Chain A
């Protein structure tokens, strides 16, 4: 008897180890996740995965803060954007901010650790580090133009990053340029859909310089992308609306059927087509129905069954249809390069060349072409052209703010508009959790 118990006790002690040290199943411990050459490509893909989270909130910021859409649902975050009663507690604000800093963290951890990992070929290191710098740069570019001054996080140090004050917008933008420039030298010039390459970086630099009003550089980078001949305009505008990775797509965030964001409150298909939390505004409809817009009215669809009360029955078509949802989000495409170059050229008084760039898009849209008139008129033409072409791709609000047109356009759109809305607020949760941000809310919120 006693021996049996002895064996039992002994077996119990033996069983201690598997009981107390089970293996994690679907997560990897930090120290083994990134420690040899094979881990680097998966970490690079993971970085894109983190970065992708920024895309939808950027579209929401760029279009829903402006005059492109009104609210039509129950989510407070869209009611606030639609009626221009934006508060620091808006969930979209937190979503964009969080995805920016998640991208920054994911980039920083690679930038910090990868150089020290032995056994990774130098070429692999250089290429992955370039991707990390480019994606970090883009994240800060969006952050600076959305929020103004923002905390500038450069490490993965938890203690430092939970108590970090804002840095000047200019400082942040300097780092964006430095990241872009470094990435441009080292990034691999691949042409796999959904991944960055040299043309993608150049497209980002074209937009960067446009926003900075460095017209010559904006024109130069846009021209480089256009002249690379890697991309060509879709023959029909409908192709831009309906296709994933269309011929003119330069950088696009891909979603496959198995990693679709579904009903998340920032899934664009869900917001624009499923729940229709945001529907195109009547002002936008009027613009897209103009002859100038041509076929770009395909940006919208109409369903008479949905038209009742305040609901105009319109939906956004760029993020898929009801049956085959497509959440791909285009960050850069060739049409934008033409528009950047046109604007840069107008600012440099090259009006005829600018008109030609615009007419490339007009002809594709089967719309009347424009003639070069004066600089002021041409700028308004470009403003409208950007609206027709890039509606719901996250540009409108950023464009109105950088061209100084926000007040005029938005006040006409909503009586609630105020100048403070030219920047988004710092998320309320950040003010509450980060002692260095106490009292540092953007003015007017």
Chain B
């Protein structure tokens, strides 16, 4: 025992002695809720200033021994106003708790700690389980759409379990990840795609393995004061997710079932056979060729008229079932849940199903020591479909395929390569491409944690936690000899093509946090200090086989040639120490400071460690005496913060100049593979945030306004360099991006009688700007075009700026496209590129309205985005002015120029002409939209009707998502991102499956 322990013991003894000197008594009573007098189980009853306390039982009754006369009892329960009652000589104290009139006392998880909302200095958005519970979503990030100011969430496509881009306060990075850090029960979980295989721009979504129904709350951390404690990983914001935990008292059972249907928000319509034939003949004649000779014969060519889009789509079915039980004693509490989800995609043969179970336990072993676990095990089977930018993609194939061909022969057999009547390259039968291949991904996720918490002193505790996020993906794929890859492209498949791959992504994290809380008079302080170590391991292997004896043998055991395979291992790690101090005086002046010292394996020796400090202050003006006359004012606070965070999420070993194995003629050698940058360092974002928060008229109106300015320096991005250097890019670590913006949120209780109507509105504007690049030359990203690429990163423009020719219309005399001759050299060529749009919205946000009356509730979430543009890149093929006659065309092609004098924006069709279809502003469209994201009508059945079935509550509801969309965008859906997850090349629509409209009914029963 050292001095510290002796001291502890001494203090402890003193406390004991002191308490024994006072008169002691036993106090008991019953806690009920004020609205209906119902008993409240699980209410915490504690002696103020101590850790002594009990919890009310199922009947709302408590009993507390050894209560001194001078003691004050604190009754607290989530969602209720905390009451403090002086004991005096009473031995029976009954208490009625009233619901919190405002959200001010709501407890918010703020990183490594929790705080009451009124004490928060940083900038947070909280989404509770109530808000997301009835939304039929596969992954939890979907549920955040339109809910929080400053958080822009875009689903990349309508594929179930597909990728989603979450951006908090804009994009801070060009090359490193822009995705926020997702922390579930203390562990940094995988985000983005888990699959090894490219499915044409679209990834799967690791977050779809966590059941949104198990989530208690999600806190989105936006400003530096709040997130600097996450240091080198904090730049993009942090989403902290806590799963549900048990409460002591009667065991509560809940069962929930949802079932519904899904279809595309808007099915695209293409030209029919006759319209297309007319167009193709015109294009052929315009190219001075004989249409009859090229086989475009009316009555013959268009004898078949297939609507390929309808052939590959269907009405999907969504179903989800959850059961949970929670409860426990005052020492042991549990939450257990199981769920099954199954979603049939709108594309034929596309399906995702998930089985998931959760067990969370908390146990108080002694007054001082408690421990607990959290465990989520999920298993997903994802039957995938190739999409987007794939020659043999299903949806892309359906849009492009000529209506002149049919999917099935007259005998009802799927047409494949080598069948007469099969379209053949570059059109593959999209129906066969959907039905024949097997693309199954089996994912197992285990998210587990074990914590122990030791209370050294009433004010001092240590919490240690070991957690793991383990993801195992097995991909089982086979493309038969009747598919494009397995049969038509002999250089790949020959006769059948099979791939089997497995990958394991695991993160291990250990954190040890010492927390000290002390209140002396008007001074209240909380301090924490912690160390954390994190290690991430990626391990993968794959094997490829081809030349199968027949399509009945689909596993690589039967392959004639097993000629490709590989295995891979990569590790990265973080080692950190951090501290966070909060202090408040008289509940009026609040200060916070935090710092984190992070070491990351992604940087070279001497550059490994970084320091990330922050500070914040808040002034509760409403608590000042001079404000007392404004009685309508519940709370008014000003707050400001400043801090530095980092971003280290980019590739590993980029600081090294490397050589890699290079195969040659059956052997292998080594060749330089990359130029390193030994001075590589994380991106550092310095952020300033100023805000005002107010609550008026007993919580009838809450208003938050915040402005921020973030500057990110030392940008990590693959800097494109001329190929004369031997490489296309080097790891850049210079330049500056800024984001500044304003966020407003307003929550009002409009009517609060028998009918209750609440509204909340959030609006954000973020201005993103690349302030500086390391070299004068702009960086190009996205798809290749005649002027470089679709996107440009250049000084003075925001990330996601479009680059191309400036289309000025169609010459009425010739029917050809007119482009702006930017450099004035008299010709239109690769040097005439200019900025032609931007993916960043001017304003975005959401409006939520909820009306309740008796048992009915109606909830509507509207999401909007204003001022952003989209590149309808699919139209470079589907409105191609005749460049290729191999693709069907969109209906806008009917407006093409046909004769002199035609005034139109669609150039004439000339077979083989590439000039009219050059990438230009013709393909850039307004992407603004307003969307009824979610509409739920629910009814809670009167308890007296169901109580005889031993059911304590029952609720039925009807939910529609994406019911209504207002947009000028000509593509199917304005919420789209073909290059899923990309920041620099966002806003592309390239044959991406549009969003779906879903209508579900649900029933929730509680026992």
Contact = CB atoms under 8 A, between A and B. Distances in A.
Interface in A50-100: 50, 52, 73-74, 76, 79-80, 83, 85, 87-89, 91, 94, 97-98
Interface in B529-558: 531, 533-535, 547
Given A47-B671, A308-B295, A309-B295, A27 B492 contact: no
Interface in B776-812: 776-778, 780, 784-788
A275 interface: yes
Contacts of B658: 24, 27-30, 33
Interface size class of B (residues with CB under 8 A): 35 or more
Interface in B465-481: none
Contacts of A26: 568, 660-661
Contacts of A49: 662-664, 668-669, 671
Interface stretch (A234-242, A263-271, A350-358, A390-398): A263-271
B664 A48 contact: yes
Nearest to A259: B663
Nearest to B665: A254
A433 B295 contact: no
A310 to B, nearest CB: 6
B886 interface: yes
Given A43-B670, A88-B829, A258-B563, A19 B573 contact: yes
Which secondary structure dominates chain A's binding surface?
helix
A50 to B, nearest CB: 5
A101 B653 contact: no
A140 interface: no
B589 interface: no
A430 B724 CA distance: 8
A357 to B, nearest CB: 31
A429 interface: yes
A89 B724 contact: no
Interface stretch (A154-162, A168-176, A208-216): A154-162
B5 A258 contact: no
Nearest to A253: B665
Given A28-B658, A273-B490, A432-B778, A256 B663 contact: yes
A385 B775 CA distance: 51
B824 interface: no
Contacts of A434: 722, 724, 777
Interface stretch (B226-234, B419-427, B694-702, B997-1005): B419-427
Interface residues of A, number: 105
Contacts of A262: 491-492
B86 interface: no
B723 A430 contact: yes
B666 A256 contact: yes
Contacts of B2: 2
Interface string A96-108: 0110011011101
Given A27-B659, A46-B669, A101-B726, A441 B561 contact: no
B570 A25 contact: yes
A432 B777 contact: yes
A276 interface: yes
Interface string B180-202: 00000000000000000000000
A428 B787 CA distance: 7
Contacts of B721: 158, 162, 433
Given A19-B601, A258-B563, A435-B777, 5 more contacts: A5-B462, A20-B601, A49-B662, A308-B295, A429-B780
Interface of B: 2, 4-5, 294-296, 391, 418, 420, 424-426, 454, 462, 464, 489-492, 494, 510, 512, 531, 533-535, 547, 561, 563-564, 568-575, 599-601, 608, 652-653, 656-676, 720-728, 730, 775-778, 780, 784-788, 829-831, 877, 883-886, 912, 914-915
Q: Give 9 closest A-B pairs by Cβ, nearest first.
A: A105-B726, A45-B669, A254-B665, A46-B669, A19-B573, A49-B662, A322-B490, A30-B657, A46-B671
21 contacts: A19-B573, A19-B575, A20-B599, A22-B570, A22-B601, A30-B658, A46-B661, A74-B886, A76-B784, A76-B914, A85-B915, A164-B722, A258-B564, A262-B492, A276-B425, A306-B424, A430-B724, A431-B831, A433-B721, A435-B776, A437-B722
Interface of A: 1-2, 5, 8-9, 12, 15-16, 18-22, 24-31, 33-34, 39, 41-50, 52, 73-74, 76, 79-80, 83, 85, 87-89, 91, 94, 97-98, 101-102, 104-106, 108-109, 151, 153, 156, 158, 161-162, 164, 193-194, 253-260, 262-263, 267, 269-270, 273-276, 305-306, 308-310, 320-323, 325, 425, 427-435, 437, 441, 445
